[in-house]
Chains A and B, each alone.
Chain A
């Protein structure tokens, strides 16, 4: 299950973060999810991974561009990130996040800084950052359904029953 509302401290990263930077190709050949969480963002900033538990990731535009590796979304989720907020996402990464039950919120938060307190409601489409209010267009009802079930595994399990 994934909760579609939450709050936590912001961890901010830049524009055009590609999936090679999220999880490097050298860590892909395993089924062990903890490996991906351990090495998440290693090539971007090795100090980032330990700060992700319970955090809301605030990314720049075109978050998750590049390779289709779903391990990127899994790594971020397994590292404990509650949700990702970015002004725009690369589309495969966007799908992958929903499919693994990680809320993605398409919204620009200018001037966000590490540690600011972020609350969000991905169903109703609002975010507050240190008291400042933002709104965004929530994802489609189908995507919300997939998200709330924790991802595509549960979704197809139930639909095929």
Chain B
């Protein structure tokens, strides 16, 4: 009668525990703030440098000299203390960690809210702020409250043109922006084995948008298949009749392409009702939907055609990028008129590259559309890679099922 969170953390829901952290990661943005706190702690020796990762993804390459100086300071710190350091262009921290650096059953803490992405691998993964990260650097541990869990039961199969992102937006809308605050989501049910790893990463990525501490998939045959390529051993996790405080049933057959409309991620509308909404920019990327499979979905729609509005594509990691190059996906996108940026967060956080102007409308495959996030006075719709690609062709929000 335990949930996966209770099993990994070794205590019942509601208990406060001090727990050793198996992997701790941060990026250029939160890492420098963690270093400021670390210095204020008196710069003690790091507890376990081998378990610490610093991954440059947020404003990369640096946009101005102020950013460059902060990045230089953190880079020097990382090298001096012999922590794992991934340079600009490696990719978004969550995706880089998902490529063989996290094992099922581990406790993974990231200084970024979307660290819950890694629950897709059957790890307990959650986000913290800069001080907590610095505390982990110096002590190797952190305190956690073992969360209650919400069971999300999946059944059926997705229709053509509908993607895991449409499910992600749909479940966030079902739960609401604070529907799972302090809780963990467990994805379960008959259809769970049919969700490929890229879909699991997308689904767990958005758990925090419903307020959840993390989203989890039990490690199964799909996890083992995916991690085999990184030679990561997988011990299969079997649900032990877990007790959920809330359950949601989702029939995959009933889902359709949707968009989250400005400025709330939990407010969705079917793409069919948004037809004709004109857009100024399309962005395909982020830790939600910048993986190879996402780029491939977009390329399948764009191949041999031309985009009608400016379209920015940013691969989630260098390996996703390389695979897109090798398999011709990148060429299809470039020939269709897309601009490809270096692996990383790209325009997602509105700091550089692809920021929108006042009054402009963007369509993005990201995970949040808060007011002003991607440009002051701009509005943003969120959607799947296929919807983004279909809309790029017309310059207005369009249904991928009609373009194909």
Contacts and interface: CB of A to CB of B under 8 A. Distances in A.
Interface stretch (A60-68, A114-122, A125-133): A60-68
Contacts of A69: 29-30, 33, 129
Interface residues of B, number: 45
B368 A152 contact: no
Contact of A24 (B66, B139, B178, B372): B372
Contacts of B83: none
Interface string A9-51: 0000000101011001110111100000000000100000000
Interface in A94-139: 95-96, 99-100
B48 to A, nearest CB: 14
B139 A152 contact: no
Contact of A25 (B67, B264, B350): B350
B178 A62 contact: yes
A70 B59 contact: no
B370 A66 contact: yes
Contacts of B331: none
Contacts of B30: 68-70
A29 B113 contact: no
B258 interface: no
Contacts of A140: 16
B80 interface: no
B94 interface: no
A16 B178 CA distance: 8
B36 interface: yes
A25 B178 CA distance: 22
B304 interface: no
A92 B70 CA distance: 24
Interface in B35-90: 36-37, 40-42, 44, 59, 66-67, 70
Interface residues on A, range: 35 or more
B220 to A, nearest CB: 28
B211 A65 contact: yes
A134 to B, nearest CB: 20
A106 B268 CA distance: 29
B143 A152 contact: no
A1 to B, nearest CB: 15
Contact of A31 (B36, B177, B264): B36
A152 B133 CA distance: 10
A73 interface: yes
B59 A29 contact: yes
B248 interface: no
Contacts of B66: 29-30
B139 A20 contact: no
B373 interface: yes
Contacts of A73: 129
Contact of A91 (B67, B182, B349, B351): B182
Contacts of A100: 131
Given A28-B29, A91-B213, A152 B135 contact: yes
B371 interface: yes
A152 B228 CA distance: 39
A66 B113 contact: yes
B16 A91 contact: no
12 contacts: A16-B178, A28-B351, A30-B66, A43-B372, A69-B129, A95-B129, A96-B130, A99-B131, A99-B135, A142-B16, A153-B131, A160-B41
Given A24-B372, A30-B66, A156-B138, 14 more contacts: A26-B350, A28-B351, A61-B178, A66-B368, A66-B370, A67-B112, A68-B127, A91-B182, A91-B211, A92-B129, A96-B130, A142-B143, A153-B131, A160-B139
Interface of B: 16, 29-30, 32-33, 36-37, 40-42, 44, 59, 66-67, 70, 111-113, 127-132, 134-135, 138-139, 143, 177-178, 181-182, 211, 213, 264, 349-351, 368, 370-373, 376
Interface of A: 16, 18, 20-21, 24-26, 28-31, 43, 61-62, 65-71, 73, 88-92, 95-96, 99-100, 140, 142, 151-153, 155-157, 159-160
